[in-house]
Structure 1
Amino acid sequence: MFLDLLNNIAITTAFLFVAGKAFQNRPLNEDNTYKTKLMLGVGGGILGTLLMLNSIHPNETVIVDLRHLAMVLAGVFGGPLSAILSAVVIGVMRIGLYGISTASLVACAVTILSGVIMGLLSLIRLPKTLYRYLLLNAFGMLAFAATLFYLLKDTGLTTLVLSYFIPFAIGGNIFTYFLAETLKKANQNHRDIKYYKLLAENSSDLISTHFLDGRFKYVSPSSKAILGYEPDELIGKNPYDFYHWEDLERITDSHNTVKESSEESVVEYRFRKKDGSYVWLETTSKRMTDLGIEKNELICSSRDVDLRKDLESDLIEKNNRLKRLSNMDGLTEIFNRRYFDSMLEEEWAKAIHHKTPLTLIMFDIDYFKFYNDTYGHQQGDECIKEIANVGKTVLNRPHDLIARYGGEEFAVILPDTKENGALKVAEAIRKSVQVLAIPHVNSKVKPIVTVSVGVAVVEPTEDMNHLQLVVDADEALYTAKKNGRNQVHLYNDTDQSERVQGEETSVR
């Protein structure tokens, strides 16, 4: 008996594996073509016939077979047409193998009728596929029991046969379900792999998988178009050998993030092409898990962003140029008042943080109104430009800044500069302007252009306001002008008290 049962299991298993291979590239569902349904029906009929030929012999008087399981499979996967066709094949083969007799005709008729009813039952939508197997199997067992009782007309013998048949039928049904579903899932996985491989191989992006140490395991064909390498030229290689050295730290951080967590990471970097040039890639990486892989791997999708990086660089350059232009004075090409205000705030905050002194120098051209009246505004503009150039020349530290404060007035910010250094810079500006010897016949100081310079130095604290430094420098400039012009004056506490309310009535 057990050998017979194993024989039936072996036949069913072999048949299902052959069928699974035959339908590996096509899903079996209600959308099956008529050709597929016919193939399933004929296949079910052949399986049923083989099961019928290899009956199970529990004892010398009892013979049972599991032919109805073939109709169950045909009904589940192919629907009514497949179930009916398999039943017809089994019924006809019953007569063909055992001859025409009452038992053969009855068995044939019942088998075909069962196939019809199983086909109709297969149309019922149930929440789980297992329930469809059980429903069709239950009807098959019922039909077999009714046929057996009709043919034997012996309740005792019928009961004896069913006591063997029912457990075999239920066990065979469950075995068939799990085997068929396993093959179905395997085929679906096979189709998914082919589908995603097709996507990868036809994607314009570069799809790659990597061992955890980064080595290429799979590379899609787009590597040829993007990098110039055939996939085989990269597989097994370490991509770190191709990265631009300036991007290594950023790439390593991304690599470690993906290795140590399930999060994905996006990174931009340069990759050396086969011709030696570099291409900008944007790569999204993620760790592959739960795939039955012995060691987790990484999957990466990389796209060529060279054009985007060029556009970004061009846009950044244009923005920087625009920013520079918006911060520059159009006449003198030094920084304007707006930029001066923002940088004074910034340097003030830095001085507070580092506890360093901050110097502000303000200077303007003596009797500039008289200069304009004498030489004209165009020549006045030229004079202002020459004074601005002098200021730029005198300053020699990267963080020192000169700006046109307004009209003929200029402001200089000197970070981390004490009084001695501030006075040296201020005096250098005054002397350099005098050395230019720009004629100014109506000046009340000298017959050349001169400047008056005010200096204020402070070590800022949190409770101070940066605008006070501007006030102090302006007071020092006022004092320099009051004391005769063409001189440098360092702000002290008496400057403000000495400034009369009417201020200077003469034209600066």
Structure 2
Amino acid sequence: MKEDLKILLIDDDETDRENILRLLNRSKLNVDLDEAQDFQCGIEIIKAQELDCILTDYHLPDAKGIEIIDQIRDLNGAGTPVVVLTGMGSETLAAEVLKKGAADYVSKNGLNADVLERSITNAVQIHRFQQKANSAEKALLEREKQYRTIVETVSDIIIRLDVEGKIEFVNPAIRFLGYEPSTIVGHHIEKFVEKVNGVNYRDGLVSQITTRGVGPMATNNLEVNFLVEKESALWEQTKSIPVLMDAFGLWDVPDEIVFKDGGEKNFLGTLCIARNITQVKAMEEELLNAQARLIEAVEELKELATKDSLTGIGNRRFFDEYLEKEWKRAQRDKYPFSLVMIDLDFFKFYNDAYGHQKGDDCLKEVAKAIEGAMKRPADLAARFGGEEFALVLPETSSKGAMRLSEGLRKSIFDLNLEHKNNPNGSRVTVSMGVATMIVNTGADFKNLISKADKALYAAKNNGRNQVSQFNEGMDF
């Protein structure tokens, strides 16, 4: 993020505050940091300023735990994202604060600039996408309200035609088009209707306007353009106005017997009701644009929630959700299900030699190769954590999974990414573990993950840069 971020840090430990400030200075973020030593001071800053993110310790002298999250949420009308910092690493605690509305949960133990930067960046980006989606939704609702008002209050043009299609009467609403009612009486209606390329004018368009039909055979919602009077001020802006027209025949007998055989009946002319839809058309366009913006914001938010921010492939949360969903489908169909775990060999040595930025670049290149190996829509590649990746391969036998994995291992090897600290060579390599199960009712996908992990450890213990398939004799 290039713009300045206004961040509030609430922590009673001065050493921790200094460490957070030092990590922020090392990151790529441009931060304007406010500090508070206790929760009450933090509340005063929240009330007084607009913030992009709030970092708060889980335990404060005057507040602690979920109480902090609840009070910030009640006070924080703008919905500023909150990242909870704690010295305790607990999955239960993490789930609890996230459930209460925290944007993220970060342990202070071993905290580094990259982790802190990613946490703040993701929290701020998700919050901004949510704001964009909310704004687009509000705009859509407002446009719909305006649309209804226009439709309900617009003045209709009422025209009565004689049996030949000449105007006998028109109400004063016609003045909007620049005509005086008296000047157009006696003229044929076709003189005021714009011709459209590709449309049969007299036998098609005009015949629908001058219809003799009643009931279901009448003309409904016919969109035509009425010509504007050339001497009017409106002529400078537009040459015609779109209207939506209903037209039905006038007879000297009730509608229900107009087209029945027998009996004397006479056609008297046609009654037309035209509604000016200029503003409606413009509003429809704006509504479509607002809907497109809303859909775009929702899609961006969905992608941010399911994609790993560094590599662009599926993140751990999406991996868990997708694996569980596909596993349930496999339980119904009883087909083979394969899982592949992938780990970059000696990646810590790589980071030590080339730095974390080069390490990130390396992960991106490997992720691109992994993503490229996914040929079927149901196959999923995801970043499992750190330098570890996973492949979900529904309806894939062990033979098929091994063939795909070996091809992928070679593809990564052929990337020829330099790794001078790799004891097994001078390029980046991966170890891979493959596990396959026939999914039965009651089977647990966690067991499949465990087997793939054991196979991965076997590949690493046997020298790395290889694919290992799980067998029941493995025990780690």
TM superposition score category, shorter chain reference: 0.3 to 0.5
Structure richer in helix, relative to its length: 1
Higher strand share: 2
Q: TM-score, normalised by structure 1?
A: 0.41
Instruction: Return the structure number with greater relative CO, CA threshold 8 A, min gap 6.
Output: 2
TM (norm. structure 2) is: 0.44
